[in-house]
A and B are shown apart, each in its own frame.
Chain A
Amino acid sequence: QVQLVESGGGVVQPGGSLRLSCAGSGFTFSGHSMHWVRQSPGKGLEWLTFIRYDGSDRYYADSVKGRFTISRDNSKSTLYLQMNSLRTDDTAVYHCAADTAMGRFDYWGQGTLVTVSS
């Protein structure tokens, strides 16, 4: 059974940092490129960042470029998102997703809530 389980969410003050993790199981994690997608309260899904299956390429949405860093450890089947300089508009549920081809997210996690508030 395929599972993606996010963790690391919580409440953080503006300007603070947080590191999210996404543990994969039930599929060949190292064979899939991975993404982070978020949903802010009352808003739609927003693609944030992508890392190729072997870590060779990374891309970021303009909204998080320079502040967020995606990484992965295939030996642990785990994806990470280091979030720095957090702003109140970063408040959202953060999902990780595995793709089979660009834009085809076959597997998703249920998400972890990040709240940025003073």
Chain B
Amino acid sequence: DAMVIQNPRYQVTQFGKPVTLSCSQTLNHNVMYWYQQKSSQAPKLLFHYYDKDFNNEADTPDNFQSRRPNTSFCFLDIRSPGLGDAAMYLCATSRELGGDRGSEQYFGPGTRLTVT
């Protein structure tokens, strides 16, 4: 049974056209994360929510926004996608933050974004 679901798996958008990626979880975890992964690179943390508390990484561009309307869902909004935003976007969840028991992150299959 899928625990972290990402839709769509593949998304094509035009340069400058807003796009939203979605993530849902059936694990009832407190924390939800969004990572950006480009080819042959490490996943780069964009932001995370602990419950309703939003935590933005300092180097995440303003072009990237997120919403978490409830425990199960989290959205990544890219307001004006540029060619450099083409990447795999990974959603993950965990019960707690890193270091303690329950902090292992469970990932969705990712959404591959293409910008034309």
Q: Do A and B bind each other?
A: no
Q: Taking beta carbons and an 8 Å cutoff, which residues of A are in contact with B?
A: none
Q: Taking beta carbons and an 8 Å cutoff, which residues of B are in contact with A?
A: none
